[in-house]
Structure 1
């Protein structure tokens, strides 16, 4: 593996012999349409963008389909409202669910009770999510959902960094061990909507 990647090395590794215009088809919407790539492949950024477009999905939306949640309270209220009205699925990917977030857990629990078809999938970080003191951990709070509704309806996953094993894991204090890596995505999906948080 190359330790130092300079801009020239990056350009060389991303350059293709011939770049042809491509058309993407949006496959995840009710009204698919085609668009022409607007990034210039002549620039380094254009080369990278073209490469990413070839290997990764892209979702095109209109600006009118985006809502900005302008405060933590607005975010939390919107999240709970979406969870209450979920029809098919709830998927949350977050660093952890706070030790005092009984209201959020109860909102998910009520939705599961109301709708027997609802599926819940939650991904948190294993290091942050299993800290017990001074209060109950995120893992303990989420375990109640699995206990009541079963693993076929509620899936809890915890990411543990592969960089923290053996002696490091044994001797590095719990609050410091997170420096070796965390799962820190903040994605909250309910049915066909997604909330991205920063």
Structure 2
């Protein structure tokens, strides 16, 4: 059992710290708009913690609503963000996930979040992340142990006025059965 856990961790580190060949990646599948969710919208919308209504709930397939698949899955979602500002910049990451999301920026672990869609469950977000000048890799490993799985995220400037990245079908996804 320890060996499997170690192997899983090693695979995740390889995926997060390197750029896998595009042939090993799938594109994420859009499930719903941010404000129309299976999970509810207590924290999503104007005047709420998650305000980017153009973000999409994503997963690795459209049957994420099908309970009973029997699989525990880790789906690693990645996208790139280019920063032209000399010296880089800080940005805000808003994130909601089913079940747990581990966030990496340029291979460095940054944050772990659980759920976030229900009232009172978003108190530890948004997360401040450091971006370097040039290309940055944002990787979010979502672990789902039963039932449907999904990710909703939006990366913006510190003032929230400019969205740098949001979840949609352009994100790549790499799968791992746990």
Return the TM-score normalized by structure 1: 0.22
Higher RCO (C-alpha 8 Å, min separation 6): 2
